[in-house]
Amino acid sequence: MNPFNSSFGRACLRGLHRSPFLYGVAKRIFSARGLLPPRAVHGIPGRVHRNDFMVSDPRHYAKTSKEHFETLSEELAFADREWSKIKSFIDFGCGYGRVTRWLPTVIPADRVTAFDVNPKAVRWCEREFGVRGLVGRPEIAGTPFGKYDALFACSVLTHLSERMVDVFLQNLPKILHPGGVAVFTGKALNSAKMARETSVHLVSEVVEDSLERDGFYFQAYPHYRIPDLGDTFFTPEWLAARLPQGLNLVRHRTGKFWTHDSYVVRLED
Ligand SMILES: C[S@@+](CC[C@H](N)C(=O)[O-])C[C@H]1O[C@@H](n2cnc3c(N)ncnc32)[C@H](O)[C@@H]1O
């Protein structure tokens, strides 16, 4: 059960979001849960780390974990990159492995790189799922990525400023092999409508107006002192226009990763 689903819980969360200091204290207290042993969750491979921030309700976590993996597999197959053809794969912004955990069920674990800017999350994925870990900096520059046949960034661009989305897109041609495929998630109008129920700091009308006018909206989290981290929305037209040369949008589908849209892009051969 998620304590923030009740109206009292949401009022507390709203209060915390107004103060970066109080939010920081609460986050430290909550992260002490990481001292508890990882738990098994029915229906998914591997255990779940107590600090996995994607868990609000374990059943929902298991559902999205499985569904996201299945949608990813579908998108790769659509782009002619079935798992049997993939020699190197990077889970970009892997977190504590909501999707990473499935990858060793379809390709050898040493073909999978779990990348994140959070070293604890990367080390967990290495230990628990046997994949290779790579810790990097948000700006990407200086991180020894290597090249990959396929990349997945789940719920990553949905939290980055316009500048950082550009950093990600501009670097894709350097990270992918020629003909390589990237699948990533994005939030658009649908997600903006859902924000009305789920967000404590977004005003969905403002998001919708900006999306219609500019094709893009970003709001930094009020509770963090990191200006490049927040809630990000963009339209497929905006995204397609931002792709660097050589990278083409091959498919966009609305709401395929829970509330997020699915984007598939391919680097020319
Ligand atoms: C919302 S979580 C999603 C985690 C995981 N992909 C999932 O779907 O469960 C976003 C992740 O992106 C990572 N992240 C944030 N900024 C990043 C950046 N510039 N480059 C790579 N990862 C980043 C965060 O550390 C976090 O683990």
Residue 214 has pLDDT above 60, yes or no: yes
Q: How far is the CA of 42 from the centre of ligand 1 (A)?
A: 24
Q: What pLDDT is attached to residue 36?
A: 76
pTM above 0.85, yes or no: yes
Cβ–ligand 1 distance for 135 under 6 Å, the answer no
Which pLDDT tens digit goes with each residue over 126-167? 999 999 999 999 999 889 999 999 999 999 999 999 999 999
Cβ–ligand 1 distance for 86 under 6 Å, the answer no
> Which one-letter DSSP state was computed for residue 38?
P
Tokens of 239: 């995204």
- C-beta of residue 265 within 8 angstroms of C-beta of residue 175: no
Give buried/exposed letters for 56-67 (b at 16+ CB in 10 A, else e).
eebeebbebbbe
- Exposure of 84 by Cβ count < 10 A (0-12 exposed, 13-18 middle, 19+ buried)? exposed
Cβ–ligand 1 distance for 161 under 6 Å, the answer no
| Cβ-proximal residues to 103 (8 Å cutoff; 6+ apart), any chain | 69, 89, 91, 109, 112, 129, 131
- CA-nearest residue for atom 21, ligand 1, is 93
Cβ–ligand 1 distance for 117 under 6 Å, the answer yes
Cβ–ligand 1 distance for 98 under 6 Å, the answer yes
